[in-house]
Structure 1
């Protein structure tokens, strides 16, 4: 990802048929995250995909 300093990072999440949630990709620009989620959703599987702000990792 080519990020611009102070630009929020986004992630793509997936929920399966059983309600389990998984991280698909992180540290993406908003347009990249939206495009990936839409591409995965268009495949027609029963999973749900969405984007959300990527939380910074804890230092330590």
Structure 2
């Protein structure tokens, strides 16, 4: 959950050309996250973007 109380279990992750990984954002649906990843990937930079499900909160 975020501070707003909304569940956003899908992450967009970026990996740069040095292998460093960063969370770009959290999204409510896999489709929404994939659209963001695809848009960022289409920019043509060396970074790699992908979507993954966040680990459940304990």
- Normalised-by-shorter TM-score class: 0.7 to 0.9
- 5+ unaligned residues in a row in structure 2: which ranges? 1-5
State the 1:26 CA deviation: 1.2
For 2:55, the equivalent position in structure 1 comes to: 55
Q: What is the aligned length?
A: 53
Q: Secondary structure at the match of 1:45?
A: coil
Listed as ranges, the gaps of 5+ residues in structure 1 are none
SS across alignment from 2:17: coil
Q: CA RMSD in A?
A: 2.0
SS at match of 2:26: strand
**What corresponds to 2:42 in structure 1?**
42
Moved over 4 A (4+): none
Tell me the TM-score normalized by structure 1. 0.76
